[in-house]
Amino acid sequence: MVLVIGVAIGMLLASWMTRYIESRLYGISRLDPVSFAGAVGIVVVVMAAVSLPVCRRAARTNPTETLREN
């Protein structure tokens, strides 16, 4: 959910910012779909890499033991 919200906000801000940096974009259009898809792909891969160790650790814990400790 956080990933989807972050990507949506990022896409809106990126499309808005391209108006201001359009003169520096050589060889690509202002709203190049390949560039946007590449950026989203990188964000998804990084998010998966960061959350995978946490998810694996959470999957190995025993909920009963965790609740008894508190």
Q: pLDDT tens digits, residue range 19-42?
A: 777 777 777 777 888 888 898 899
Domain assignment of residue 58, yes or no: yes
Domain assignment of residue 28, yes or no: no
Tokens found for residue 24 = 């520096």
Question: What is the Cα–Cα distance from 40 to 7, expressed in whole angstroms?
Answer: 7
pTM score of the predicted model: 0.66
| Contact indicator for 43, 13 with CB cutoff of 8 Å | no
Domain span at residue 37?
33-70
Q: What is the mean pLDDT of the chain?
A: 86
State the total domains in the chain.
1
Domain assignment of residue 50, yes or no: yes
- Highest mean pLDDT pick, 7-11, 32-36, 52-56: 52-56
Domain assignment of residue 55, yes or no: yes
Question: What is the Cα–Cα distance from 62 to 64, expressed in whole angstroms?
Answer: 6
